[in-house]
């Protein structure tokens, strides 16, 4: 048996709005009005019995919409994405979190804002890809960008939790559209993932991963979001590069844990490790009980989608790793479960874009764009 590579033409056709909009985030004239929106968020919040602010829907005010309509993006008819929820915390060290669900890949995207400064980071944005037609488009990302423009947010970083295998990242598109050389950031062990998949996809040219990501985080590394302190948590297991981002009482976990009734992510990708995932989940569960874990995906069965739960809730109810489950049981269960899971639908396009920080593979001499599909065959024809 040997592996051969077949190339499949996947000509990317960008959406009509892909190239000309949103460069003016930092110069957006509606910043003052947007500030009003973010501060208005406080008027919507209400305390839960536990004292934690519950989630509320976020809406731009009419005044903001009118003022924002003078921006390029709005004139071109890109409506702002509406967040599923706006999460406001009474804790001054915790950001306001706007949450956006991308249904095609069940991915949660986050716009995380320091309400004092309107500095923002974007976590795990999605680039749309239709595998049937081989078409990449930016509808989801454009909605998010429009939301950012509407609210006068200043994007300071684009954060990846890991090299996703189920959707393409829009990180590079965001960087291009926002302007100002906003860094695309990921965990430092992305280099291991890049080397693994370079071998699988035959990416043999020297320097193939030069100038991909801008920042490679170490565990416990800290950075600022406006006045807020952010800390990187290396959370391997699902992938070796996986990190989470702890900001105040909010943690953006990526796929290192899922909502309690979903449990945990698979560990059968190259470099995945059930023991490491168990340890990473324990690290998350050791945080204070009122911290919120914002997950990278949700796969609801008999309920609406949701993006978060508290650490206390996860300790009590996570179906794969609650406090009654020991490590050996979890590892055995996780490995057996992964044996029957199929490959993600967008596996190959996702990895070939995501290990390049959202950049496309080089085009051929005729300007065509392709993805590679590794193939196993027991015949040589």
Residues lying near Fe ion in the complex (CB under 5 A): 164, 255
- If the CB atoms of residues 150 and 164 are measured against Fe ion, the closer one turns out to be 164
Q: Which is nearer to Fe ion, 164 or 348 (CB)?
A: 164
- Assess contact for 83 and 94: CB atoms under 8 A: no
CB of 107 to Fe ion, least distance (A): 9
Smallest separation, CB 258 to Fe ion (Å): 10
Measured CA angle at 97 (ends 237, 304), to 5 deg: 75
> What would the two tokens of residue 299 be?
């796969």
Q: How far is the CB of 54 from Fe ion (least distance, A)?
A: 28
What H or E segment, with its residue span, contains residue 187? strand 184-187
**What six digits make up the tokens of 90?**
């009474």
**CB 162 → Fe ion: shortest distance, Å?**
6
Closest CB to Fe ion among residues 178, 346 = 346
Distance of alpha carbon 295 from alpha carbon 237, whole angstroms: 15
- 103 to 148, 307, 338, 356: CA distances (angstroms): 20, 13, 23, 24
Shortest spacing between CB 123 and Fe ion, in angstroms: 13
Helices (H), the chain: 31-44, 62-68, 72-75, 139-150, 171-178, 190-201, 274-285, 311-317, 327-339, 347-354
Find the residue with minimal CB distance to Fe ion: 255
CB of 350 to Fe ion, least distance (A): 9
Closer residue to Fe ion, CB minimum distance, 78 or 233? 233
Cβ closer to Fe ion: 22 or 278?
A: 278
Residue with tokens 């731009």: 60
Residues contacting residue 17 through CB under 8 Å, at least 6 positions apart: 76, 77, 78, 138, 142
Our CB check for Fe ion shows the closer of 193 and 285 to be: 193
């Amino acid at each position: 048996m040997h592996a051969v590579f077949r190339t499949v033409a996947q000509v990317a056709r960008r959406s009509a709005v892909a190239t000309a909009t949103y460069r003016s985030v930092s110069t957006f004239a509606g910043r003052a009005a947007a500030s009003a929106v973010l501060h208005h968020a406080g008027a919507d919040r209400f305390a839960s019995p536990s004292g934690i602010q519950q989630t509320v829907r976020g809406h731009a005010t009419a005044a903001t919409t009118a003022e924002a309509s003078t921006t390029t993006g709005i004139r071109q008819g890109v409506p702002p994405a509406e967040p599923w929820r706006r999460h406001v915390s009474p804790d001054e060290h915790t950001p306001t979190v706007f949450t956006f669900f991308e249904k095609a890949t069940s991915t949660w995207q986050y716009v995380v804002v320091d309400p004092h400064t309107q500095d923002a980071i974007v976590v795990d944005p999605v680039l749309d890809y239709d595998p049937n037609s081989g078409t990449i488009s930016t509808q989801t990302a454009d909605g998010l960008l429009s939301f950012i423009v509407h609210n006068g947010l200043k994007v300071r970083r684009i954060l990846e939790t890991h090299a996703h295998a189920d959707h393409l990242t829009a990180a590079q598109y965001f960087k291009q559209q926002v302007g100002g050389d906003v860094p695309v950031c990921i965990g430092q062990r992305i280099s291991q993932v890049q080397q693994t998949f370079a071998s699988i996809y035959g990416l043999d040219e020297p320097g193939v991963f030069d100038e991909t990501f801008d920042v490679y985080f170490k565990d416990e590394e800290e950075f600022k979001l406006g006045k807020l302190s952010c800390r990187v948590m290396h959370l391997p297991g699902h992938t070796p590069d996986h990190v989470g981002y702890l900001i105040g009482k909010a943690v953006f976990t990526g796929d290192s844990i899922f909502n309690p009734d979903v449990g945990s992510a698979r560990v059968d990708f190259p470099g995945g490790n059930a023991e490491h995932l168990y340890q990473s989940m324990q690290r998350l569960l050791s945080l204070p009980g009122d911290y919120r874990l914002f997950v990278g995906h949700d796969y609801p069965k008999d309920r609406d989608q949701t993006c978060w739960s508290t650490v206390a809730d996860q300790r009590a109810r996570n179906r794969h790793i609650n406090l009654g489950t020991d490590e050996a049981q979890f590892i055995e269960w996780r490995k057996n479960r992964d044996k029957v899971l199929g490959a993600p639908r967008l596996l190959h396009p996702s990895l070939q874009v995501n290990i390049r920080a959202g950049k496309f593979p080089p085009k051929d001499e005729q300007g065509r764009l392709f993805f590679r599909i590794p193939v196993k065959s027991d015949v040589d024809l």
